A and B are shown apart, each in its own frame.
Chain A
Amino acid sequence: MRGGEDQPLAGSVMHVKNYVRFEFQSLPENISFARSCVAAFASQIDCTLDDIEEIKLVVSEAVSNSIIHGYGNKPSGKIVITVSILDKKTLEIIVEDYGKGIENLEEALKPTYSSDPSRMGLGFTFMKSFMDEMEVTSNPGEGTSVRLKRSFLAKDKEAYA
């Protein structure tokens, strides 16, 4: 969705200290792999164990959404994750799928909205709450890209920030 295959970091390339990019099939078995990978990479940043747990949660939410909604639980879809460390303390996570996309983004982003009556519509709320920034771009029939960003201040300094 965002940038070309050959330009994985278009837009933020100047600031990037380090990044990883990986892709995998839209299978539920891969969700734990995806969140563990991002968490392992993020541990290069000086953040707490609680922060790492929150990173795992938001990755799980974005990837689950791609599998469930983007690909309708079909295992043949492709999900691409790019994680970048922008400066010593800022993490950016981009989760992209090439699934069905979101028709009405405004509605989808409302707290507790779900297109599936058996779900609670918590995913985007978690992503928004646990990250500083959330940007969702989606084109029906083309796919969805979720960009999440957060800066981690050293815990002892946080109170004075």
Chain B
Amino acid sequence: MDVEIKQVRNTLVVRVQGELDMLIAGKMRKEIDEKLKDDKIKNLIVNLEKVTFIDSSGLGVLIGRYKKIAANGGRMYIVGAKSPVDKILFFSGINKLVPMYNSEQDIINI
């Protein structure tokens, strides 16, 4: 699976794998938005540890989910982004909106 989703209390944890271009981004958006229909979900963690490529379509889906989550008073985090993905995230400025951490464990610890 390219997109794996689990729910931990009121937080959705999404693990993505592969190249986050238009193809996977579309799938990711659909699957996350389906889960976000459930009002209990407030926060979103997107794990990009296994993502090897991202372009503007992937960034667009991340920003779009951030807007939804923020509008609902929740928090969003990106974890595990590595080269070359992290560079593109910084370049886009998304890190100013969505805090980035090394691992899912780092968020549980804060």
Interface residues of A (CB under 8 A from B): 28-29, 31-32, 50, 53-54, 56-57, 60-61, 64, 67-68, 118-120, 122-123, 126, 129
CA distance A84 to B106 in the complex (A): 46
Which of the segments B5-13, B35-43, B49-57, B69-77 contacts the partner chain?
A: B49-57
A–B complex contacts, Cβ < 8 Å, 6 sampled: A28-B22, A32-B19, A57-B55, A60-B53, A64-B55, A120-B92
Q: Which one of B22, B23, B26, B91 has the highest number of Cβ atoms from chain A below 10 Å of its Cβ?
A: B22
Count, chain B residues at interface, CB 8 A: 17
CB distance from B87 to the nearest CB of A (A): 8
Contact A126 B56 (CB under 8 A): yes
Instruction: For chain B, residues 51 to 65, give those with C-beta under 8 angstroms from any C-beta of chain A.
Output: 53, 55-57, 59-60, 63-64
3 pairs of A and B residues whose beta carbons are closest in the complex = A53-B84, A122-B56, A60-B55
CA distance A49 to B110 in the complex (A): 35
Closest to A36 in B: B19
Contact A64 B60 (CB under 8 A): no
Contacts of B19 in A (CB 8 A): 32
CA distance A67 to B63 in the complex (A): 21
CB distance from B69 to the nearest CB of A (A): 15
Contact B21 A64 (CB under 8 A): yes
Contacts A53-B84, A56-B53, A57-B88 known; A122 to B22 CB distance under 8 Å? no
Contact A68 B22 (CB under 8 A): yes
Contacts A28-B21, A60-B21, A68-B22 known; A120 to B59 CB distance under 8 Å? yes
Contacts of A54 in B (CB 8 A): 84
Contacts of A126 in B (CB 8 A): 55-56, 91
CB distance from B48 to the nearest CB of A (A): 15
Closest to B52 in A: A53
Contacts of A64 in B (CB 8 A): 21-22, 55-57
In the complex, per-residue mask of B1-38: 1 if CB is within 8 Å of any chain A CB, else 0:
00000000000000000010111001000000000000
Contacts of A50 in B (CB 8 A): 84
